[in-house]
Amino acid sequence: MFKIVKAKIVTFFIICPLFVFAQSGAIHINQLGYYPDANKIALVVYAGANTFDIVNVADQSVEFSGILSESKYGEDANDSIQLADFSAFNKPGTYRIHIPGFGDSYPFEISPVIFRKAAYASMKSFYYQRCSYKLQPSYAGMWARNAGHPDTNCQFHGSTGKSGTHASPGGWYDAGDFGKYVINAGISVHTLLSFHENFPNFFADGVLKIPESGNGLNDLLDEVNYELDWLKTMQDDDGGVFFKLTTLNFDGMKMPDKATATRYIIGKTTASALDFAAMMAMAGRVYADYDSAFAADCLVRAEQAWNWAKENPSISFRNPAGVSTGEYGDGNLSDEFLWAASELLISTQKEEYRTFLEDRSSSLNYWSAPGWPNVQQLGTLSLLTQPNNLPGIVLENMKSSLLSTCDKWIKQIEESTARIPNFGFYWGSNSEIANRGVAMIYAYLLTENTKYIRGAAECADYLLGKNVTGFSFVSGFGWRTPMNFHHRAFSADGIAQPAPGFVAGGPNAGKQDGEFYPFSAPAKAYVDVVGSYASNEVCINWNSPLTALLAGVDAVLGDGSVVDYPVAQSANNPPTLTLSAPKNNHSFGSNIPLTVRWYSSDTDGLAKAEIYIDSRFRAAVTGPSLEWVTDALEIGDHTITVLSSDTNGLTTGRTNRFNIYDATSAEIFDMQSELAQLKVRSGNVYDQLKVEYQLSEHACAELLLFDNTGRKILGYLIENPALPKGTSIVPLTRQLPAGIYLLTMRQKGKRVAATKLMVK
């Protein structure tokens, strides 16, 4: 038997080279490209090569050649990575990286406006998040939709101390959910308004093509105004500020106008009052030149909220009983006080705020990136860039903490295997790297030292594809981008692509959504499926630093020429792809070759499919073939990934996991996990199986029996298994032919145990 199999494989490999060309795929670049004056680096995984070429796509000429760095193992990625550094090459054009004997990267550009459209799209993502608002085709293109959630008649939840109803329309949906949370508005509004204070002409009137474009006001200010108008409705008569506006539990994946569950105003806390005070204080100075009445009202409200917080300094938020929407809980409120006082000082120059900050000056610094619960740094960034009367020494200390923090991150980028600063891959990790990039833009503004803007650009490179997942995390910008965000409207609208410019939360080793993540290394813990709210949701506090990062880098490294970003009326979608073999969660005998089979189509025509086993590149297949066969794999669990690319380079991927069991050994074995154990009592396996199990969880269990080709022979449900131990008699409808079988047990969609079974 073994010999015959070998012979088959040999035959295959003689035919096969016609369809398999040099390896490619694992050259990770910024999928848009690079500014002429930026660092230009690609990550090259498992190439085993020494040199690379930069090839001009127009005429295939080699314009630059370089030496790949020594291969270094990166633990976060579980990859060995070489770097292709072509920073010295800066001629605008469209290129590919070519690695002789290995393959090519996606095409990319060197251009002095390379991030501009993505920056506009990222800012425009807020328009797509507008609540209580109809999106018209002339502004929203394909993603036009009805208004949802008028929010004119919300119920006061008991946690507000009020009863009855309240009107609180407008504002942005927070994320993939329809909630509106004051806390998360805080850092988002700061990041955008602060960007505007430093780069007031970037989002000039008209560039975003939103309904307010053409009204004479900067488009960023128009968009943020939509949020500020809502925020004002969240302030109570006594100056306090309600915490959030949501349903009691998250809605299903519906369009906004179909999600009609009752909406509540919930909670009233110190943090919401202080974040509100900070935002309103900023708005009070930023809008003063355009709408003085609006701005004056913002300032009055800011001080009312501040005074309320002083009287109620420690009310923190926990979801009340019966409420399960986003919590944004934060026990430490000192940073919120510092941020609010910072913005209030800049906007009012009042002694009260100066004294408050001076008394706490040792806490004014920038030692880590801000986040929704850590907002002191936002105050630092404002104080460092806006006039105020804090003593020079306090400002100097803040500045040196920002610079030394950025220096540390740049050093980490330079020393790391994957050109990123050290950070944990937590929920929303993409915002961590975006915020660090934003910090480097401030460092550049304060010093004009170009190392900072180059560092910021490398943070953007990561988000746009120079990372080990192979994704550009920004929808519509790159060759392989998220298609299946955890976003209610985008998953319910029947359109394949989400609107452009949204950034995914990104790799998250916590994987709290329970989805199957094809790659388990922390830096690769990202999966582009709708269910993955822990890695593939979008959120306003992630898109705001993306906006500031892309726009800030463009403002500094770009040439400022005019770029038109039209409203997308049609999308060029990546290929459709189904991966039919090996099937997900199936088992295959170790004695047969592995057949990989997929189906793919694309209106542009298909270019190639790349095949990865256990996230390692194995082959690229061109031509009409939709099948690839390889020698039998090692016994154990595996993943198969197929990436299909169209002739434009747009790429779709699918991953299945499967198991190879030992079909050559004749012993009966038990492959038991921590979760469950499974034993088949020898005896009469001709008309029934007697299965003993031991479980750690009470949940419906499914027994599946496979033959040695991985074909499912039977499935048997134990709806109410005994805990911890029980026995089931599984009837067989036909006699099993002699051979080796695999019996597996699944609970909640996961395999918890497997055992092999031999029928003589």
Position 329, amino acid: G
The footprint of ligand G3I on residues 593-652 (CB under 6 A) is: none
Residue of closest CB approach to ligand 9MR? 177
Stretch that binds ligand 9MR, among 62-70, 173-181, 311-319, 635-643 (CB under 6 A): 173-181
Our finding on whether 485 is near ligand 9MR (CB under 6 A) is: no
Instruction: Clarify whether 223 is annotated catalytic.
Output: no
Say whether 707 is catalytic: no
510 binds ligand G3I (CB under 6 A): yes
Among 102, 308, 427, 517, binds ligand G3I (CB under 6 A): 427
Question: Is 537 a known active-site residue?
Answer: yes
- The least CB distance from residue 352 to ligand G3I, in Å, is 32
Q: Which of 103, 169, 176, 211 binds ligand 9MR (CB under 6 A)?
A: 176
Answer yes or no whether residue 326 interacts with ligand 9MR by CB under 6 A. yes
Task: For residues 471 and 692, give the distance between their C-alpha atoms in angstroms, rounded to a whole number.
Answer: 44
Residue 250 interacts with, from ligand 9MR, ligand G3I, none (CB under 5-8 Å by kind) = ligand 9MR
What DSSP line would sit under 232-257, residue for residue? HHTB-TTS-BEEEEE-SS---S--GG
174 binds ligand G3I (CB under 6 A): yes
Q: Is 426 in the site for ligand G3I (CB under 6 A)?
A: yes
Residue in 537, 554, 610, 646 annotated catalytic:
537
* Of the residues 537, 554, 646, 662, which one makes contact with ligand G3I according to CB under 6 A: 537
Residue 83 binds to ligand 9MR (criterion: CB under 6 A): no
Angle, vertex CA 136, rays to CA 134 and CA 138, nearest 5: 160
CB 489 within 8 A of CB 251: no
Distance CA 726, CA 676 (A): 11
- Distance, in Å, from the CA atom of 210 to the CA atom of 218, rounded to the nearest integer, reads 11
**Least distance from C-beta 531 to ligand G3I, angstroms?**
13
Does 486 qualify as catalytic in the annotation? Answer: yes
Provide the pairing of β-strand 154-156 with 594-601: unpaired
Count of positions (residues) in the chain: 760
Instruction: Determine which one of 53, 79, 177, 335 is catalytic.
Output: 177
* Shortest Å, Cβ 303 to ligand 9MR: 33
Pair 707, 586: CB distance under 8 Å? no
Tokens of 561: 């020429």
Contact between 370 and ligand G3I (CB under 6 A)? no
Residue 224 and residue 203: Cα distance in Å, rounded? 12
Question: What are the start-end ranges of the E strands in 18-78?
Answer: 20-21, 27-28, 33-34, 41-45, 51-56, 62-67, 72-74
- Contact flag: residue 256 with ligand G3I (CB under 6 A): no
Task: Please report whether residue 539 would count as binding ligand G3I according to CB under 6 A.
Answer: yes
- Residue 448's Cβ-count burial label (10 Å; 0-12, 13-18, 19+) is exposed
Q: What angle do CA 531, 45, 23 make, to 5 degrees?
A: 95
Count each helix (H run) and each strand (E run) in the chain, helices first: 15, 32
Query: Could you tell me which of 92, 120, 66, 188 has the C-alpha nearest to residue 562?
Result: 120
CB of 149 to ligand G3I, least distance (A): 15
Stretch that binds ligand G3I, among 170-178, 517-525, 622-630, 691-699 (CB under 6 A): 170-178
CA dist., res. 30 & res. 465, Å (int): 5
Q: Site map for ligand G3I, 384-413, x if CB under 6 A?
A: ------------------------------
Nearest distance in Å: CB 509, ligand G3I: 8
Based on CB atoms, which residue is closest to ligand G3I, 184 or 744? 184
Sign of CA dihedral 448, 451, 455, 458: positive
Angle in degrees, CA 544, 550, 556, rounded to 5: 125
Q: Which two tokens stand for residue 285?
A: 């100075």
Q: Which residues participate in catalysis according to the annotation? A: 177, 486, 528, 537
Binding site for ligand G3I (CB under 6 A): 174-175, 177, 179, 326-328, 371, 424, 426-428, 510, 533, 537, 539
Binding site for ligand 9MR (CB under 6 A): 175-177, 250, 326, 533, 537
